[in-house]
Amino acid sequence: MRITEAKFAGSSVRAASKPSRKLPEFAFIGRSNVGKSSLINMLCGNSRLAKTSSTPGKTKLINHFIINDRWYLVDLPGYGFAKISKKEREELRMMINDYIQNSDEMVLLFVLVDSRHDIQKIDLEFITGLGENGIPFAIIFTKGDKLGPNALKAQIERDKAILSEQWEELPPMFASSAETGAGKEEILDFIGQYI
Ligand code: GTP
Ligand code: MG
């Protein structure tokens, strides 16, 4: 699958107010600062499409990008960002849950995990919630350029072992780097199977 056109299609705070044109959606979620917006830009070959920041908590809305006029990539706010008020955190949590549970067009959710550390408790809790709600998902290990190839492989194996304690069958998994473009073809080909 090749992306020939990627355009911003709108921001929303609830699934009910997302762009009215219904098309298949592939959404990106994960801890704040894990690299969701950067990965979307890398996949689209446009570093200015989704706003990124070295400070966590950059994406605060549900952002739809229309791809090849046929499907959407959806950039979601991150979870687990500590430095905001309790009220704001609860608001973001509700926004994320509402989108995930009420978006009939969402085909698949990519859960991004930082490849530099063991998968964290908050990620495991989030993934458990997906299982309970029957939400199809895949995992992408981000920032792969920050580790050597062997260290990256070892980390993914470690995370697989952690996930296997809870899951009989593991989800599809990818490693990516917004810096080098690693993972681009695999992720886009995977999406291509659905549309
Ligand atoms: P929020 O919107 O705040 O939840 O963050 P996000 O998950 O969208 O992360 P974002 O894409 O804004 O990236 C966060 C920081 O990580 C930025 O400084 C990026 O440049 C950096 N970053 C993201 N992906 C990569 C990557 O693959 N490699 C490296 N080296 N840095 C990355
Ligand atoms: Mg973001």
DSSP assignment of 129-150, as one string?
HHHHTT--EEEEEE-GGGS-HH
What CATH number is associated with residue 153?
A: 3.40.50.300
Q: How far is the CA of 35 from the centre of ligand 1 (A)?
A: 3
User: Is 165 inside any structural domain?
Assistant: yes
User: Is 110 inside any structural domain?
Assistant: yes
Q: Are 99 and 127 in contact (CB under 8 A)?
A: no
Reference 109, options 30, 23, 3; nearest CA is: 30
pLDDT at 51: 92
Reference 48, options 8, 85, 12; nearest CA is: 8
Which of 40, 41, 52 to mutate for ligand 1's pocket (most ligand atoms within 8 Å of CB)?
52
Q: State the residue range of the domain holding 145.
A: 6-192
pLDDT at 85: 87
pLDDT at 31: 95
Ligand 1 atom closest to Cα of residue 178: 27
User: What tokens were used for 92?
Assistant: 């973001």
pTM, to two decimals: 0.96
pLDDT at 83: 81
pLDDT at 60: 86
Q: Who lines ligand 1 at CB under 6 A?
A: 32-38, 52-54, 56-59, 77-78, 142-143, 145-146, 177-179
Q: List average pLDDT for each run of 10 residues in the chain, which is 195 residues long.
A: 96 94 97 95 96 87 97 94 85 93 96 97 95 96 96 97 94 98 98 95
